[in-house]
A and B are shown apart, each in its own frame.
Chain A
Amino acid sequence: MRGVLAALFWLCSLLPVLAEQVIADLNQNQVAITATFDGSEIFVFGAVRRDAPVPAGAGPLQVLVSIVGPEGPIDVRRKEQVAGIWINADTVEIDSAPYFYAMATTAPLREVISHTEQMRQRIGLEHLVKLIDAPADVADTPAFREALMRVRSREGLYEELVGAVTLRDETLFDVSVRLPANLVEGDYRARVVLTRDLEVVDSVEQTIAVRRSGFEDWVYTLAMDKPLIYGLLSLAIALFLGWAAASVFRYVRS
């Protein structure tokens, strides 16, 4: 990670002098999902490096921090009443949606970044949750996209933390983002964006590797890669326990 940062500095030195650069780091780049995993706190912090004084009349510096979990397609289903009972009727596949999304800012989003910049930088759920080919035979397909965002927000997987980033003297900033217990494996991208007058000044990105670990990893990998062995093993342990219990209780009684 240090190496990456150093390379970044070197790259920056080649570029024409930028007025402001962001230097950021995380408290951890790896999250292990273990048997007792109960969520994790990601602390994002950093500083702004300034080679020249801020021009007079420029607006205040703003910081935007986002953490985006693994992206992929997902089916969203809608229930309908058929013969008195509610059953899944229409299905729409959302082409791409992040599993996790958290965005923290120093101020309300519209005071931080402009619409155009937001689109260019792919910031915000509206640019990350994509429904490209909606099936023609399903009514009101945008509602499926809305529903995905609503359901994930309720599960604590999509979060917007307005004003959560603290910025001191336009130089030091930090924010704490909580990753919930129901995480999935994958690479989570943490990004810090500096803006001034709604325009992006600089940004950096780091990866947080979320992985199952230890026993959890072993069980999951076995179940997915060698399901027959996993099934036999589960069964053998269950039968052994049943047999052991019977023997123990017989012994206790006699």
Chain B
Amino acid sequence: MQLYLPIAEVSVNMFLLLGLGGGVGVLSGLFGVGGGFLLTPLLIFIGIPPAVAVATQAPQIAGLSLSGTLAHLRRRTVDLRMGTVLLSGGLVGSATGVWVFRLLTELGQVDLLVSLAYVIFLGVVGGLMFWESVGALRRSKGGTVVVKPRKRHGWVHGLPLKMRFRASHLYISAIPPFVIGLLVGVLSAIMGVGGGFIIVPAMIYILGMPTAVVIGTSLFQIIFVTGFTTLLHATQTYSVDAVLALLLLVGGVVGAQIGAQIAVKLRAEQLRILLAAMVLLVCAKLGYDLIVEPSELYSLGRIAL
């Protein structure tokens, strides 16, 4: 059934959108990643204007993250204090990101910004994931498990403005989490992602947080940052398509539950390679489109009637 999206101003098959949301939801449930970094490029591939694809991800991700956070709150695996510091940085970052996004929209370069950001981050994340899963496969075959001891005292511990984070058993400066939150906030606004794939490793390796509270805390702060990003995109770039967001969300929540059920039964290591390969494939497609001479060199701006 064709559905005319009010803000994107294109007519798209409703079941295609539900399916896309669902498919990416399954992946996110399976691997514990948000999936925004796959959904935005896919939406662009099916003809949604890049600005709308990015802005519409924000409410979508906020809804999905709330769903996940509730479960983590019940299990008490959320460091609320750390989350608050991260999200205060995130709000500043999101405002900066939307400002840059709006500026480049006016200059007609926003598509380039989105594509470049994706090529770089998908390349790096996909590459790392691929590397890690190949390593994990090799380890599970060899049978020897090498656990690197985590450094408890790095440069992070020398900074001022120290705060006590009880849930994470940390006494560190508030500056590093604030800066991490800020950077992820910028990415959230210009890429239409939650940023979990960056903030989770950053929390473990830079801040030294215990793994148990990382996912919950990340999801908790994502709700606020993407929520704020929604409001900024709605008022600054007018690109949030509520109908599109709801369809993706319905597909997404169902998919995520299915994915989580499958994850319990399956060994995820081989599948992780598959996910990495998919991320690299999307990255390659976006990169290819930037390098190869397009068949039509001219494009039209947004109409102002």
Contact = CB atoms under 8 A, between A and B. Distances in A.
Interface of A: 33-38, 70, 72-81, 84-88, 91, 99, 143-144, 147-148, 150-152, 181-182, 184-186, 212, 215-216, 219-220, 223-224, 227-228, 230-235, 237-243, 245-246, 249-250
Given A77-B108, A181-B2, A224-B238, A245 B253 contact: yes
A228 B253 CA distance: 26
B246 A237 contact: yes
Given A37-B4, A239-B227, 18 more contacts: A74-B300, A74-B301, A75-B300, A78-B298, A80-B297, A147-B297, A148-B300, A181-B4, A184-B305, A185-B305, A220-B7, A223-B234, A238-B59, A238-B245, A239-B223, A243-B70, A245-B257, A246-B68
Given A70-B305, A228-B234, A234-B234, A86 B249 contact: no
A237 B64 CA distance: 12
Contacts of B116: 85
B112 interface: yes
**Which 5 A-B residue pairs are closest in the complex by CB-CB distance?**
A231-B234, A75-B301, A147-B298, A242-B63, A238-B63
Contacts of A241: 63, 246, 249-250, 253
B19 to A, nearest CB: 17
8 contacts: A36-B4, A38-B4, A86-B293, A232-B231, A243-B70, A246-B67, A246-B68, A249-B257
A240 B4 CA distance: 24
Contact of A238 (B4, B249, B291, B292): B249
Contacts of A151: 296, 298-300
A82 B299 CA distance: 17
Interface of B: 1-4, 6-7, 9-11, 59-60, 62-68, 70-71, 108-109, 111-112, 116, 223, 227, 230-231, 233-235, 238, 240, 242-243, 245-246, 249-250, 253-254, 257, 290-294, 296-305
Nearest to B70: A246
A76 B64 CA distance: 38
Chain B interface mostly: helix
Contacts, number: 182
B298 A242 contact: no
Given A219-B6, A231-B240, A235-B227, A242 B235 contact: no
Contacts of B290: 85-86
Interface centre among B250, B253, B293 (most CB of A within 10 A): B253
A37 B11 contact: yes
Contacts of A99: 303, 305
A75 B136 CA distance: 51
B30 to A, nearest CB: 16
Contacts of B253: 241-242, 245, 249
Given A36-B2, A151-B299, A238 B62 contact: yes
A234 B67 contact: no
Given A38-B11, A79-B297, A243 B66 contact: yes
B106 to A, nearest CB: 10
A219 B243 contact: yes
A186 B246 CA distance: 28
B300 to A, nearest CB: 6
B238 to A, nearest CB: 6
Contacts of A215: 6
A38 B233 CA distance: 28
